[in-house]
Structure 1
């Protein structure tokens, strides 16, 4: 019996919390330490009160990437007498400094290279993605790397998937699998684009009634086994 991998010619991955850790608190703590500020959990909670609704608006196409990146740092920029743009850039640098692949990511990617085409579709930002791919040695594994900030559309908008498909040479939809940790951007987006989806459900959350992944795993190691087992 052939393994599941033989069904696909392309596997598209999300980046944050799918291939890479995205520990925003640690990144912010590191960034603010460079301003001699001890950033604590209360500070993080206040930051998230601003940041999380901005991400929802960004994914819904209400605001731009630039608006998100700058608005979330307005309060701190005022306190530190710097621009929000500067703080955002410092934050992305700190996130690149602490970046690590998720457990099982390297083994999975190494096992897939040469057997299937690999790409990335991310709602993350350009300044972080390119550095992180280089630092982890993944830059040659993924092509295309489609970044919402560059396209002007974010997952789950079908436009970012269609852009990726054009770069991929318009593959047959049934030969494409999207892997991601976010049910509402990765899985809903993949569903709308007409491709199979695999939800990397780290925390065992309930599946939504109206968003159904083709597959569901808790870890990349489990995905590895799912794809390659006979």
Structure 2
């Protein structure tokens, strides 16, 4: 395998964020005294949260604003019948996330194998102190050389400045020997394209690529990542 530096997105690549998100959201609502979560509340929260993260990646909103605003907007849509404190919801939710970690199938073995070949690092736009706690809770930290966060960098994926920040944390770096594995075309793969490194799109849902991002290879399971990377050598 030609690659020696493996950069992994965290959420919905190595960790099943969707599962953790639902568990933490439901726990937060219960702790706020909401015994029965209204139909569609979590789905609406997800849509609002996703839109705000996209805005953050474009530099339109701050992460501190996002963390509370997603709950404020969600609660506001349900009117007076959902009189809950968005700041309290944000605090409870973030505290819950490290306790609801779910690994994507094959994540532990993949990181362990690649750490034996080269160097494995995490690149994430998530909340820094929460991501570090989640990584430790998952057990993945044993195989990692570094964790690069947009919060510490000051720039988020897909900005090339974030990728430059990340690779400078590695013991060694060359464009030809570096690859990113991630699920987001608009953040992970597009960022890799702009930075001039290989990318493996973790497309677990078998989605069509209708974006400008061009992955070097694709895998629908983490177990398929290494074969996909090895196949790049023959191209």
TM-score (norm 2): 0.86
Q: Structure 1: which 5+ runs fail to align? A: 1-5
The aligned residue for residue 12 of structure 2 is 17
The aligned residue for residue 123 of structure 2 is 121
Q: Structure 2: which 5+ runs fail to align? A: 77-81
User: Cα RMSD over matched residues?
Assistant: 2.2
The aligned residue for residue 111 of structure 2 is 109
Give the C-alpha shift of residue 52 in structure 1.
2.2
The aligned residue for residue 175 of structure 1 is 177
Alignment of 1:81-230 (within 5 A): 82=85, 84=87, 86-168=88-170, 171-208=173-210, 210-227=212-229
Give the C-alpha shift of residue 49 in structure 1.
4.1
Preserved contact between residue 29 and residue 40 of structure 1 (Cα < 8 Å): no
The structure with higher relative contact order (CA 8 Å, sep 6+) is 1
Distance 1:9 1:122, change over 3 A: same
C-alpha distance in structure 2 between counterparts of 1:221 and 1:49, whole Å: 30
Preserved contact between residue 121 and residue 147 of structure 1 (Cα < 8 Å): yes
C-alpha distance in structure 2 between counterparts of 1:156 and 1:118, whole Å: 19
C-alpha distance in structure 2 between counterparts of 1:56 and 1:218, whole Å: 24
Distance 1:149 1:79, change over 3 A: farther
Q: Which has the higher helix share?
A: 2
The aligned residue for residue 61 of structure 2 is 63
Deviations 1:34-65 (A, max 9, x none): 22313244111332343222111111111111
